């Protein structure tokens, strides 16, 4: 189920490239001393370098950070590919409970945190810049609250006094916006990770376990081929945590990070929660159907 629920970038790019790389280089024989856990540790280091690049003022430097995080994503797939190859398992095998499983999870968490820290520092620094120079180009990233127009005489009389407090108030408003938006996006990532893993575990126990009767096996196949099942699969492909991270990276590359995070600030919660509710309802239906003795031809 994990292979079916993978996001498009991992399913069509990183995973095939990692398999091709392992076969072309004959990695297990040429580099037997390099363990999957070493590869996991290496992509943490790359993520930390990428984090530093993401908060640069220059778009070209941030795009270089995007490339480093894509390399990190490739290495994240490669460590699993090498581990499965050395144990002669299929690409869909997940060794839950092993040391490598927990190491990979910890490294993924650090890499995701590095991405969000880089994004936060970039937006936080630009919120200060836009507050100090509201007419600069940077102010379009995080706009400040507009102030009502004042007369020329009033402006000349209180210009110094207003400048002191306008910078402070504008900076405070922008910083609060950044903190709220980043926290919302990070919370969406946590929820998506939790519900996505529940979906994988649930469908694995329902559809990939041995059955006691041929009828139950036929029902497993029918559920897997159903339209509802594939709609849920396609939605999870664009809503799982890997897909959300990829969207954040792409928004950084095209210099639309703030716009993307603001748009998904609330809509993201609605989409994830509705998808999770539909997934749990479908899993309950499929489990009840397969465990029952009757046969249904309509799903």
- The pLDDT tens digits for 174-229 are 788 899 999 999 999 999 999 999 999 999 889 888 877 888 888 999 999 999 99
What's the Cα-to-Cα distance from 88 to each of 38, 83, 129, rounded to whole Å? 19, 9, 54
> By CB neighbour count within 10 A (0-12 exposed, 13-18 middle, 19+ buried), where does 103 fall?
middle
Reference 77, options 111, 117, 52, 48; nearest CA is 111
74: left (phi over 0), alpha (psi -120 to 50) or beta: alpha
162 band by pLDDT with thresholds 50, 70 and 90: very low
Alpha-carbon distance of 188 to 265, in angstroms, equals: 9
pLDDT, tens digit (0-9, with 9 covering 90-100), for 233-287: 999 999 999 999 999 999 999 999 999 999 999 999 999 999 999 999 999 999 9
pLDDT at 232 over 60: yes
Reference 65, options 21, 14, 117, 103; nearest CA is 117
| pTM strictly above 0.85 | no
Average pLDDT value over all residues in the chain: 83
10: CB partners within 8 A, 6+ apart: 73, 77, 242
Which position has the higher pLDDT, 91 or 66?
Answer: 66
Check residue 88 and give its pLDDT.
73
90 band by pLDDT with thresholds 50, 70 and 90: low
145 band by pLDDT with thresholds 50, 70 and 90: very low
Which position has the higher pLDDT, 61 or 147?
Answer: 61
Alpha-carbon distance of 211 to 108, in angstroms, equals: 34
Check residue 97 and give its pLDDT.
56
What percent of the chain shows pLDDT beyond 70? 79
95 band by pLDDT with thresholds 50, 70 and 90: low
């Amino acid at each position: 189920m994990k292979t079916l629920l993978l996001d498009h970038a991992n399913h069509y790019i990183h995973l095939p490239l990692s398999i091709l790389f392992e076969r072309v280089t004959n990695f297990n024989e040429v580099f037997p001393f390099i363990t999957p856990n070493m590869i996991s540790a290496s992509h943490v280091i790359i993520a930390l370098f990428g984090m530093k690049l993401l908060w640069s003022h220059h778009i070209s430097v941030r795009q270089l950070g995007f490339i480093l995080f894509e390399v990190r994503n490739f290495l994240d797939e490669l460590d699993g590919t090498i581990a499965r190859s050395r144990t002669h398992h299929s690409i869909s095998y997940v060794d839950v409970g092993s040391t490598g499983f927990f190491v990979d999870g910890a490294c993924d968490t650090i890499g995701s945190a590095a991405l969000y820290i880089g994004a936060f520092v970039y937006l936080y620094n630009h919120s200060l810049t836009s507050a100090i120079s509201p007419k600069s180009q940077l102010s379009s990233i995080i706009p400040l609250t507009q102030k009502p127009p004042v007369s020329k005489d009033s402006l000349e009389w209180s210009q110094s006094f207003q400048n002191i407090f306008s910078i402070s108030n504008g900076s405070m408003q922008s910083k609060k916006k950044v903190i709220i938006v980043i926290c919302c996006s990070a919370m969406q990532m946590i929820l998506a990770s939790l519900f996505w893993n529940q979906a994988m575990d649930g469908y694995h126990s329902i559809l990939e376990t041995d059955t006691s009767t041929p009828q139950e096996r036929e029902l497993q196949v029918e559920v897997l081929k159903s339209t509802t099942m594939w709609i849920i699969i396609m939605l999870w492909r664009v809503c799982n945590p890997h897909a959300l991270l990829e969207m954040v990276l792409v928004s950084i590359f095209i210099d639309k990070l703030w716009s993307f995070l603001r748009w998904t600030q609330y809509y993201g919660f609605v989409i994830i929660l509705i998808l999770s509710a539909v997934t749990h309802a479908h899993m309950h239906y499929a489990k009840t159907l397969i465990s029952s003795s009757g046969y249904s031809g309509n799903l």
